[in-house]
Chain A
Amino acid sequence: MLKIVEIDHLNVKYPDVKALDDVSFSVNKGDFLGIIGPNGAGKSTLFASMLRLNTKYEGTIKFFGKDIRKSKDYLKEIGYVPQKPIFEKNFPATVNDVVRMGLRKESDVSKIDEILQQLWIHELSNRLIGELSGGQQQRVFIAKALVNKPKLLILDEPVAGIDQQSIDLFYSILRELNSKQKITIIWSSHDLDAVNQLANHVACLNRTLFFHGESDEFFENDELVKKYSEASMQEHMHHH
């Protein structure tokens, strides 16, 4: 099985806390990995390290068999959707402009229409990004991440603050990307039910890795499920 990501003894220390403690796992081609864990569990730190946004770590991270400290070429094969993309509210960029920013080759401009159609946001093409709802913006950022036809898609809890209908649509898009287009997906989420439905692998992270394996294995282990649903429930309560 071709390994897309290999993380080996990853440690990240902040002045006061250890954000990640000896985390090791790998992701195979075609996997749909759901990463679950409470807020402050180190999911964002993990992603930041994987994307070279945080370079102060110990251990090794390899993408497509190569150490990411040595070359950033692997970023070309990755699409990334952040938790909540931050931009100026009145930034003069249309949906088309935003997706085009992700496009590496200007000659591939026809891919923009293609991807907008695929994500049902074609009719929003000329609207300003700041005018759209959270769910629509999320689809625009997925479109931007997908426009170069990446081999791997990384999504950081992207459903926060989005209506149910958009969330359902988002899940069906993810399912199709993984099953039909064979894109490997790494997705951090609070939503255990959704992880159960979509992911074929699960990683439970809370600074250290408590579990990593097939999703059936996780969801058949009542103790683990209970622990993580409590954690996510508490967080849910905390949010409200």
Chain B
Amino acid sequence: MARRRDALRSLGLAAALTVVAGTIGVALLALTLRSLDQAAGGASLGLGSPYLWRVIGFTLLQAGLSTALAVALGVPVALALARRPAFPGRSALLALFAVPLALPALVAVLGIVVVFGANGWLGRLAAALGLGPPPSIYGLSGILIAHVFFNLPLVARLALAELERIPGESWRLAAELGLTRLGVLRFIEGPVLVAVLPGIAGLVAMLCVASFTVVLTLGGGPRATTVEVAVYQALRFDFAPALAVRLALAQIAICAVLVALLGRLATPEAVGWGPGRRIMRLDGRGRAGLIGDHLVIWLAAAFVLLPLLSVVTAGLGAPIGRLVADPEFLRALATSLLVAVSAGLLSLAIAWPILEVRARLGARRDGRQAARRLLEQVLSLSIVVPPVVVRAGWFVLLLPLGDPARFAPAIVVALNAIMALPFVARVLGPALEAHLNRHDRLAASLGIEGLDRLRLVDWPVLRRPVLLALVMAGLVSLGDLGAIALFGSDRLTTLPFLLYQRMGSYRTNDAAGIALLLLAAALAITLLSGQLGRERRR
């Protein structure tokens, strides 16, 4: 029996890795072999050119700073929220914290400038108070603001999910021992954070490395150029696909080093908790702690919610009624939801075997760490593979089979699923690992197997993380533009596509309305999953 299980597991892992490597590798290979690069094409972009080194330098600088800020600001929010399970509006806030995942970059950028920009709310408030104009956000500061807007909520949510899995016994013990706040941080919260933060920071760093619209639009000028921009440039005006592939590989290689370095910081041993009973926090009862936590939460909420609010106010000025009645909108909404759900499920299906094997490797102490690290790389790096390159590769590959647009839905779903892998890994990975550590042997010794095991042992414990992973993957997919159709049309009209299309034809008002509806859809999905994931009262 055990042998058969192992074989099945290996098969699952092989299938998952094949899907990931196949989708990406085949595309890169196809594009390279096409080698249509013109002689002059991308001379300035050649590997090793000073231009490219500057670009790589800036990419790492902005990604590093963005990540440091997002983690430094997100962790206190997670700690405060964990200490305050009764904070008014807590679950609504957490739902809203998931929304930025689904916002197309352009929408978020416009939302941010309405609040922080030259003509923004803060500037006008400062003027009304007789203060001077606020400093311009265009430049590194604007990039950092936007990246923190996207990632502070992500860090807070992911870290909070881990903090909430600390068993109640720990807190009772802490109270009995009379641990101070510092003591709690050091002995209870600290080990959890140390275990998961490298992974979370890695995800944020990858997201920032792959940032394109945010960096160019808020960067203030071409000094702010990322490798992703160079890839796009190579594919577009310069039309040098092979060069684009090389740049993409360079980006992946740099990120692989980053992930490896971060991996050394992680301490897998610390991930050993399972979900305890309903926990009761006995710490942080003092007035100072209370005020401090509220302040931290409110500040973070304001920072994230104000740009969202500006998206809402802009959208309310749009003819929502006409938009919603437009069959094109309804089709796009249906397409978007369908793609998001499919990508979410596929992402989960790919991630699960990888995560399970990784967890089992982690439990052993026999030098399987190299394999574990390799799987970690697969789960982390998929997000920095420039989707435009993969799309272009598949276009070339499918060209002989007729109009490649016919295959667009499958490609988009597969790509979105792969892009969402790191999110699934961060949410589900630690929970799955803890669960296996705790229940695997017990279940085996009781002879509970197959569907029974899934129903009785796994599902009750993993339902919440599975749902959260699914929601995150779905939201990422919902806001994805589907890797701008560089060469071929899609006939795959999603909401972000519709939004950009209107935006590109002066119809900013319609675009604002669509942005609002997209935001509402994301919020509805999050709230709904929150309801589903709530633990049944006994």
Does B bind A? no
Interface residues of B (CB under 8 A from A): none
Residues of A within 8 A of B (CB): none
